[in-house]
């Protein structure tokens, strides 16, 4: 059977759902869109005024850094994020991580490339490395949400992706309710470089959500100690800065 026929049959059986509302996305000129145009309209991208360190949106052109980055010295060099952490994307990520909607990764990769592609090209990373999951978590979830996103982004931008470079050796406690200090402590010794025979100079880390930066800082510390010169990070969503 021709590939186009197989795809058409697949689409009837499993119509691609919009990652934002979860309903089948509309078909335009014979092919199904990845997301509904009206859902995309509601999406809030990070504006043009963002923190020069973490990429979080900030108010006012008079500041260079967000409140957090003006006070905390990050280990990573620079970061960017595509979307503000609004309710629709929050729900989308929940379904992506906990309800098996791994197919959303394709669209996430496209959004990352569209919103942050020019900054990524400017940084010129050798490789994209996803923030790793602990093997136990990987087994129960079945996939690493950051790795699928990293692969989709790599395909969009034509950059290599190395999902095994970093490993998570400690299964850390959930960090939602922890303070920055507690997060840093929680992540101490959580990551290792898995491939000591491979050398990269510039790495772009990928994660789904950026909160305090403690996770990417913990990864960046290990990478820099291992000889990586520049570590950048990118995330699909980020909270708003002040």
Q: How far is the CB of 114 from Zn ion (least distance, A)?
A: 17
Q: How far is the CB of 152 from Zn ion (least distance, A)?
A: 19
CB contact burial 110-143 (16+ within 10 A = b; e otherwise): bbbbebbbebbeebebbbbbbbbbbeeeeeeeee
Q: Does 18 bind Zn ion (CB under 5 A)?
A: yes
On whether the CB atoms of residues 54 and 210 are closer than 8 A, the answer is: yes
3-state secondary structure of 20: coil
On whether the CB atoms of residues 165 and 193 are closer than 8 A, the answer is: yes
Q: How far is the CB of 234 from Zn ion (least distance, A)?
A: 14
Q: Does 17 bind Zn ion (CB under 5 A)?
A: no
Q: Does 214 bind Zn ion (CB under 5 A)?
A: no
Number of residues that bind Zn ion (CB under 5 A): 11
Q: How far is the CB of 13 from Zn ion (least distance, A)?
A: 20
In Å, how far from its chain's centre is CA 205? 8
The rounded distance, in Å, linking the Cα atoms of 9 and 198 is 43
Q: Which stretch binds Zn ion (CB under 5 A): 13-21, 133-141, 163-171, 197-205?
A: 13-21
The site string for Zn ion over 39-68 (x = CB under 5 A, - otherwise) reads x-----------x-xx-x---------x--
Residue identified by tokens 């959303």 is: 104
Q: In the complex, which residues of this chain contact Zn ion (CB under 5 A)?
A: 18, 20-21, 36, 39, 51, 53-54, 56, 66, 69
């Amino acid at each position: 059977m021709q590939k186009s026929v197989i795809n058409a049959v697949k689409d009837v059986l499993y119509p691609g759902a919009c990652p934002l509302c979860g309903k089948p996305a509309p078909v335009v000129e014979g092919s199904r869109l990845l997301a509904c145009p009206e859902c995309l309209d509601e999406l809030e991208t990070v504006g043009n005024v963002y923190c020069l360190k973490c990429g979080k949106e900030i108010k006012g052109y008079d500041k260079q850094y967000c409140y957090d980055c003006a006070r905390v010295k990050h280990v990573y060099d620079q970061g960017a994020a595509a979307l503000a952490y609004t309710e629709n994307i929050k729900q989308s990520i929940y379904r992506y991580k906990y309800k098996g909607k791994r197919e959303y990764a394709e669209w996430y990769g496209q959004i990352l490339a569209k919103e942050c592609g020019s900054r990524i090209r400017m940084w010129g990373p050798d490789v994209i490395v996803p923030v790793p999951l602990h093997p136990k978590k990987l087994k129960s979830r079945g996939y690493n949400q950051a790795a699928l996103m990293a692969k989709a982004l790599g395909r969009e931008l034509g950059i290599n992706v190395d999902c095994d470079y970093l490993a998570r050796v400690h299964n850390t406690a959930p960090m939602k309710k922890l303070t920055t200090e507690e997060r840093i402590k929680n992540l101490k010794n959580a990551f290792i470089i898995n491939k000591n025979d491979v050398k990269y100079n510039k790495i772009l880390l990928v994660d789904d959500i950026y909160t305090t930066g403690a996770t990417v800082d913990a990864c960046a510390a290990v990478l820099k100690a291992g000889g990586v010169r520049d570590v950048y990070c990118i995330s699909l969503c980020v909270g708003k800065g002040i």
